[in-house]
Amino acid sequence: MSTALILGATGATGKHLLRELLSSDQWSKVGEYSRRVTPEADLPQNRGKLEQKTVNFENLEAAGLKDGRWDVVFVTLGTTRANAGSAEMFEKIDREYAAKTDDPEHKQRVVYLSSSAADSSSHFLYTRSKGLTELGIARLGYADTIVFRPGLFKGAQRADKRLAETILGYVTGAASHFTSNAEIHVSVLAKAIMKAGILGSSGLPPAVGATKAGQEDAWFTLIGNTGALVLGQE
């Protein structure tokens, strides 16, 4: 069995991923490290192998990220500019914190949840930040780096209602009848992310359509929405 660390387990996809990790007999220990961890009342009964730790991302040296000797690190961190309070804080949470998950003594695999429009050269803050985070994590030197770029989230339960996301949901809902690139249910995405963490880049089925992406010194395996659907529904 392997050990798994999840950063961002209270987000729309992260909460589903945490349940998947705890339910699977693949993992002997699951760590949930975050600015705020899942309340006990929201945890499933099978939480005996869960280790929770509140982390100050401004002082990661004291966070003990290396202590667990994690085999696979899942990064589902993310926020919006509105919730972060400023563009500077958005980039710090979305990019800098995620890229500080490095454990130079025990590198195996990292799986990062990005965005379908991620582009490090984009003029838009959100998509640029996601693209830069992809490259930043790929440069950390893990033996295997996998990035998901999913479509619009279906079934996401958020404390904050996002009007644009709601409107876009109607559009992608209609588009999903013609293409598999439009949307994905967060529970299916969570299963796909966990499976990728187990299988690794070399073990992904051809039907997933994973590709090599990134740039010199920052290569990673990329899985799009169609591939996530295939992997999550197997």
Give 3-state DSSP helix, strand, coil % of the chain, rounded to 5: 40, 20, 40
Q: What kind and span of H or E run contains 135?
A: helix 125-138
Most confident of 44-53, 122-131, 214-223: 214-223
**How much of the chain, in percent, has pLDDT values that exceed 70?**
71
Tell me how far apart the alpha carbons of residues 81 and 94 are, in angstroms, rounded to a whole number: 10
Question: Could you report the per-residue pLDDT of 95-108, keeping only the tens digit for each?
Answer: 666 666 666 566 68
- DSSP code of residue 211: E
Residues 6+ apart with CB under 8 A from 181: 116, 151, 224, 225, 226
Q: Among 58-62, 114-118, 192-196, name the one with the lowest average pLDDT.
A: 58-62
- pLDDT, residue 96, reads 65
Asked if residues 71 and 108 have their Cβ atoms less than 8 Å apart, the reply is yes
Q: Hey, is 231 helix, strand or coil?
A: helix
Nearest Cα residue to 50 out of 93, 86, 81, 6? 6
Asked if residues 100 and 62 have their Cβ atoms less than 8 Å apart, the reply is no
Whether the pLDDT of residue 109 is over 70: the answer is yes
Residue 93 tokens, joined: 């949470």
CA angle (82 as vertex; 80, 85 as ends), nearest 5: 105
Q: For the residues 44-59, what does the mean pLDDT come to?
A: 84
Question: Could you report the per-residue pLDDT of 112-149, keeping only the tens digit for each?
Answer: 999 888 898 999 888 888 898 899 889 888 899 999 99
Give residue 136's Cα distance to chain centre: 14
Whether the pLDDT of residue 14 is over 70: the answer is yes
- pLDDT, residue 23, reads 94
- pLDDT, residue 68, reads 59
- pLDDT, residue 166, reads 46
Whether the pLDDT of residue 214 is over 90: the answer is yes
Tell me how far apart the alpha carbons of residues 77 and 191 are, in angstroms, rounded to a whole number: 17
The CA–CA distances, whole Å, from 222 to 146, 173, 217 equal 6, 24, 15
Tell me how far apart the alpha carbons of residues 208 and 201 are, in angstroms, rounded to a whole number: 11
Confidence of residue 56 (pLDDT cuts 50, 70, 90): confident
- pLDDT, residue 98, reads 61
